[in-house]
């Protein structure tokens, strides 16, 4: 009896921890996945600013992970925690933070939530990464809220493709690439150019979470498709 052939052979460039979740989901749908994270989590070792703080702010799940790993985290877990969205909120609860309030998915919504909930003069610890989508301190300055930014991690870009990815491209064993961030897409383009397989990448379908993510791929000559909403469910409907 022959086995059913998976409907898509997918290149997944999403970093961990999201990559493992997405890979499991794709494989459960019958797809074959080559996972090659273009960005890798790396702690900076930066010291935390001195307190006291009125609240904590997280704009990524990685920020939660990095702060939770610090010895000082136990003294901060009783503070109100404001997160950029539901996934970061879930990570904060899993890390032992008990009073978690979620914004609607972007830094502007997070700033509005903090301004609505905190009194002028409050001081917020923002545990963040080296690359951020917006300037939380600038958004909150007009509301007389102080932000102590601590860059606890960076997402280091890959320099070359993983061997499995390069081989799959050379053998024509990929149909589709999924893209979750513009930086990951740009890093992938750098890697395929370095490895001499840029033309092979162009042969794939490129499914993107947003127009901003699709832009560098389209500029490189890739055929892009964009999800109707910046959510994984919407992205996977394109498969």
What residue ranges define each of the domains in the chain, with the CATH number in brackets?
41-156 (3.40.50.10090), 181-239 (no CATH)
CB 207 within 8 A of CB 10: no
Alpha-carbon distance of 182 to 90, in angstroms, equals: 24
For residue 52, cis peptide bond before it (omega within 30 degrees of 0): yes
- Distance, in Å, from the CA atom of 230 to the CA atom of 69, rounded to the nearest integer, reads 29
What backbone torsions phi and psi does residue 98 show, to the nearest 5 degrees? Answer: -100, -30
- Ramachandran area for residue 105 (φ above 0: left; ψ -120 to 50: alpha; else beta): left
Burial class (CB within 10 angstroms; exposed 0-12, middle 13-18, buried 19+) of 107 = middle
| Model pLDDT, residue 134 | 85
**179 SS3 class:** strand
- Residue ranges of the chain whose pLDDT lies below 70: 1-6
Two tokens at 133? 């989508």
Give the integer Cα–Cα distance in Å for 171 and 96: 46
- List the one residue out of 128, 131, 156, 123 whose CA is nearest residue 42: 156
Question: pLDDT tens, 90-123?
Answer: 999 999 999 999 998 889 999 999 999 999 999 9
Instruction: Enumerate residues 6+ apart whose C-beta is below 8 A from 22.
Output: 12, 14, 178, 232
pTM for the whole thing?
A: 0.78
C-alpha–C-alpha distance, residues 39 and 236, integer Å: 21
What pLDDT was estimated at residue 4? Answer: 47
Q: Over the stretch 209-230, which tens digit does the pLDDT of each residue have?
A: 999 999 999 999 999 999 998 8
């Amino acid at each position: 009896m022959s086995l059913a052939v998976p409907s898509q052979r997918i290149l997944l460039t999403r970093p961990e921890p999201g990559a493992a979740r997405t890979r499991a989901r794709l494989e459960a749908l019958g797809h074959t996945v080559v996972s090659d994270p273009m960005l890798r989590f790396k702690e900076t070792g930066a010291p935390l600013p001195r307190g006291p703080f009125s609240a904590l702010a997280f704009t990524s799940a990685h920020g939660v992970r990095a702060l939770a790993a610090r010895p000082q985290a136990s003294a901060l877990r009783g503070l109100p925690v404001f997160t950029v969205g539901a996934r970061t909120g879930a990570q904060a609860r899993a890390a032992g933070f008990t009073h978690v309030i979620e914004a609607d998915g972007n830094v502007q919504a997070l700033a509005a939530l903090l301004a609505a909930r905190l009194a002028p003069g409050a001081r917020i610890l923002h545990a963040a990464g080296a690359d951020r989508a917006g300037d939380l301190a600038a958004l909150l300055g007009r509301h007389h809220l102080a932000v102590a930014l601590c860059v606890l991690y960076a997402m280091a870009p890959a320099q070359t493709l993983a061997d499995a990815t390069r081989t799959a491209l050379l053998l024509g064993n990929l149909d589709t690439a999924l893209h979750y961030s513009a930086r990951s897409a740009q890093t992938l383009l750098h890697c395929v150019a370095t490895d001499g397989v840029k033309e092979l990448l162009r042969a794939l379908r490129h499914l993107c979470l947003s127009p901003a993510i699709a832009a560098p791929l389209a500029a490189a000559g890739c055929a892009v498709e964009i999800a109707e909403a910046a959510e994984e469910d919407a992205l996977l409907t394109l498969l």
